[in-house]
């Protein structure tokens, strides 16, 4: 379904997803890395409990909400990966970040 454009990345970035170490290409979004790492869903719907995952990949649909570096409800498709970043997938109702 997805195919990478000709290689334009400059290096590799190491981060954690749900506590596990993951390595991605610099410049990729968190959502792209989640899909590449095999995460079809990154949260469950608060209403129905159904799994939800990246859909539009451009910040319109809000299906790719994750916690990034302790900040909940970030759109994974809009955030580029960074060295040492901590990503947590979620389930159910959103957490309120102080």
Residue 94 lies in a domain: no
Going along the chain, which residue ranges are E strands? Answer: 12-17, 20-25, 43-44, 51-52, 65-68, 71-75, 86-88
Residue-level pLDDT, tens digit, the chain, 98 residues = 566 667 666 789 999 999 999 999 988 999 999 999 999 899 988 888 899 999 999 999 999 999 999 999 999 999 999 999 999 998 545 555 55
Residue 71 lies in a domain: yes
Beta bridge partners of 52: 43
Residue 4 lies in a domain: no
Residue 76 lies in a domain: yes
For residue 45, the model assigns a pLDDT of 86
What does the DSSP 8-state code read for residue 31? Answer: H
Residue 66 lies in a domain: yes
Residue 61 lies in a domain: yes
What's the CATH number where 41 sits? 3.10.20.30
What is the count of structural domains for the chain?
Answer: 1
Q: What is the dihedral of CA 94, 89, 91, 46, to 10 degrees?
A: 50
Domain ranges, residue 74: 14-88
Q: Find the angle CA(43)-CA(74)-CA(59) to the nearest 5 degrees.
A: 95
Residue 45 lies in a domain: yes
């Amino acid at each position: 379904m997805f195919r990478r454009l000709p290689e334009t990345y400059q290096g590799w970035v190491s981060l954690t997803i749900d506590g596990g170490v993951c390595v991605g290409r610099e410049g990729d979004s968190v959502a792209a890395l989640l899909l590449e790492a095999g995460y079809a869903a990154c949260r469950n719907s608060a209403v129905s409990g159904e799994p939800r995952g990246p859909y539009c990949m451009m910040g319109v649909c809000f299906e790719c909400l994750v916690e990034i570096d302790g900040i909940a409800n970030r759109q994974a498709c809009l955030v580029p990966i960074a060295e040492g970043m901590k990503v947590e997938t979620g389930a159910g109702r959103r957490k309120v970040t102080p």
